[in-house]
């Protein structure tokens, strides 16, 4: 069978493999477009506030509910706060939370899924743990986490970093289960494939086996989970701030902007549409980057 990952020739330096991956990635049109959009979003969100330095929390009661103008390119909200500044500030938080929380949840999910699927002895325990986490009611769990950890964390890391850590952990710890179940299912099937059996028969160590043969082959469902995970994390973050778990109430995030504006959808549709577009665009671009990355990492395609 040729399904085995082609071993990297000993002579070639690691950087040439990276170059191969990059070359393959570049040839993927969707991925390049996705990357361009994602970088643009990052630049606007991180560097934009340096150019457009209106404070996102500045209340100006004389210019409430205004449409786009020179002073406010995207208009103002019900308290006269500048929407452009709010979208940029919100994006910073939402993207940071979305990416880190997704990263944590994918990491946990993959780790638990692979361990459960590969090592039969761990399967029972880890999967019952997954069942437990799936069954726990989310809201009380989050409330308990805030009650126990908010003060220690904000004393240790300062209020903003403390809350950021709390939110990322809260989302990560409550969303890894689906990835774990999916990865485990795939690993169970992969384990019995010929190339894995072959690798095992020549005495490959479990660690090497997982890294070389198992992980590359479960990459695509992980990528899908990751893309969906970002969207879910951004929305969950806004739900958390309503419980008083998240950032202070005047701190904008995309999910929160969206939620706050839903009541005014008929009057000021732009106010709902803008954060909606921002979230969708981010998720779409990450999705295409993921597509390209998976293709680039797949030796079967890269070779051709």
Partner 1 sequence: MKLKTILLGAGATLALAPAALAERGADGHVNVIYSQAPSIMNPYLSSGTKDIEAASLVIEPLIRYDETGAMLPWLVEEVPTLENGGVSEDLMTITYKIKPGLKWSDGTDFTAEDVAFTAEYCMHPEGGCAQLAKFEGVSSVEAVDPLTVKITFSEPKPFPYGPFSGGQGPVIQKAQFAECLGARAPECTDANFMPVGTGPFKVDEFRPNDVISLSANPEYRDPAKPAFATMTFKGGGDAAAAARSVLETGEFDYAWNTQLAPEVLAEMLKGGKGQLVNAFGTLVERIEINMTDPSPSLPEGERSTAAHPHPILSDIRVRQALSMAIDRQLLSDVGYGEAGRPTCNLVPAPEMYASTDNTGCLTWDMEGAKALLEEAGWTDTDGDGIRDKDGMKLSLLYQTSTNAVRQDFQAIIKQWWTELGVETELKNVDGSVFFGGDPGSPDTFQKFYADVEMYANNFDGTDPESYLAMYTCDKAPKPETQWQGENINRFCDPEYDALIAELGKTGELEQRGEIAKRLNDMLTKDSMVIIPLVDRGRLSAHSNTLGGVVLNTWDSELWNAADWYRIK
Partner 2 sequence: MLTYTIRRLLIAIPTLLFISLIIFLLLDLAPGDPMAQMPLTVPPEVRQRMREALGLGEPIHMRYLLWLKQFFVIEPLNILDQMLGTDMAGDAQRVISWQTRSPVADIIAQRIPQTLWVVGLAYVLGVAIALPIGILSAYRQYSWFDQLGTFVSMVGFSVPTFFTGVVLIILFAVNLNWFPSIYDTTHRVTDWDSFVFQIRQMVLPVTVLALYNASQISRFMRASMLDNLRQDYVRTARAKGLRERAVVLTHVLRNSMIPVVTVIALGVPTIFGGAIITEQVFKVNGLGQLLITAIQANDIPMVQTLTFIFAVLIVLFNLVADVLYGLLDPRIRYD
Among positions 248, 269, 273, 301, the unique one binding partner 1 when judged by CB under 8 A: 248
Return d(Cα 18, Cα 26) in angstroms, integer. Answer: 12
- Give the integer Cα–Cα distance in Å for 143 and 151: 13
Q: Which of 168, 182, 214, 245 binds partner 2 (CB under 8 A)?
A: 182
250 binds partner 1 (CB under 8 A): yes
298 binds, among partner 1, partner 2, none (CB under 5 to 8 A by kind): partner 2
Residue with tokens 């040839």: 27
Of 198, 200, 176, the C-alpha closest to 127 is 176
> Which partner from the list partner 1, partner 2, none does 227 bind, CB cut-off 5 to 8 Å by kind?
partner 2
Classify 9 as helix, strand or coil: coil
Contact of 170 with 182, CB cutoff 8 Å: no
Give kind and range of the element (H or E) at residue 270. Answer: helix 269-297
Q: Contacts with partner 1 in 79-138 (CB under 8 A)?
A: 79, 81
Residues between 7 and 66 that touch partner 2 (CB under 8 A): 30
Region label for 65, one of left (φ > 0), alpha (ψ between -120 and 50) or beta (otherwise): left
Identify which of 103, 82, 100 has the alpha carbon closest to the alpha carbon of residue 252. 82
Of 6-14, 20-28, 112-120, 261-269: span binding partner 1 (CB under 8 A): 261-269
Give the binding-site size for partner 2 (rule: CB under 8 A): 58
Binding segment (CB under 8 A) for partner 2, from list 1-9, 68-76, 166-174, 245-253: 1-9
Please give the C-alpha separations between residue 143 and each of 139, 147, 172, 235, 241, in angstroms, as whole numbers: 6, 6, 15, 17, 11
d(CA 35, CA 100): 18
- Chain length of the chain: 304
**Site for partner 2, rule CB under 8 A:** 1-3, 30, 124, 127-128, 130-132, 134-137, 139-141, 143-144, 147, 177-178, 181-182, 185-186, 188-189, 192-193, 217, 220-221, 223-224, 227-228, 231, 234-235, 255, 258-259, 262, 265-266, 272, 276, 279-280, 282-284, 287-288, 298, 300-301
**Site for partner 1, rule CB under 8 A:** 57-59, 61, 64-65, 78-79, 81, 143, 147, 151, 155, 159, 241-244, 248-250, 260, 263-264, 266-267
């Amino acid at each position: 069978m040729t399904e085995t990952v082609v071993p990297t020739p000993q002579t070639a330096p690691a950087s040439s493999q990276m170059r191969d991956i990059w070359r393959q990635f570049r040839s993927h049109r969707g991925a390049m477009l996705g990357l361009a959009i994602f970088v643009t979003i990052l630049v606007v969100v991180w560097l934009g506030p340096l150019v457009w330095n209106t404070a996102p929390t500045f209340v100006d009661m004389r210019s409430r509910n205004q449409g786009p103008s020179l002073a406010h390119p995207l208009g103002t909200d019900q308290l006269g706060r500048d929407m452009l500044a709010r979208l940029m500030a919100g994006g910073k938080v939402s993207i940071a939370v979305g990416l880190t929380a997704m990263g944590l949840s994918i990491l946990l999910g993959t780790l638990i899924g692979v361990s459960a699927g590969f090592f039969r002895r761990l399967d029972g325990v880890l999967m019952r743990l997954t069942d437990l986490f799936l069954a726990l009611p989310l809201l009380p769990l989050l409330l308990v986490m805030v009650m126990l950890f908010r003060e220690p964390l904000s004393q240790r890391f300062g209020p903003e970093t403390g809350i950021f850590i709390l939110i990322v952990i809260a989302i990560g710890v409550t969303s890894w289960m689906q990835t774990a179940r999916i990865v485990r299912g795939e690993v169970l099937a992969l384990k019995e494939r010929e190339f894995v059996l072959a690798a095992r028969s020549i005495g490959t160590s479990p660690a090497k086996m997982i890294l070389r043969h198992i992980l590359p082959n479960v990459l695509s469902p992980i990528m899908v989970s990751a893309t969906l995970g970002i969207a879910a994390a951004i929305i969950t973050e806004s739900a958390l701030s309503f419980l008083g778990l998240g950032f202070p109430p005047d701190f904008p995030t995309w999910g929160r902007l969206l939620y706050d504006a839903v009541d005014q959808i008929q009057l000021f549709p732009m106010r709902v549409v803008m954060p909606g577009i921002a979230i969708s665009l981010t998720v779409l671009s990450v999705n295409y980057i993921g597509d390209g990355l998976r293709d680039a990492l797949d030796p079967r395609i890269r070779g051709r």
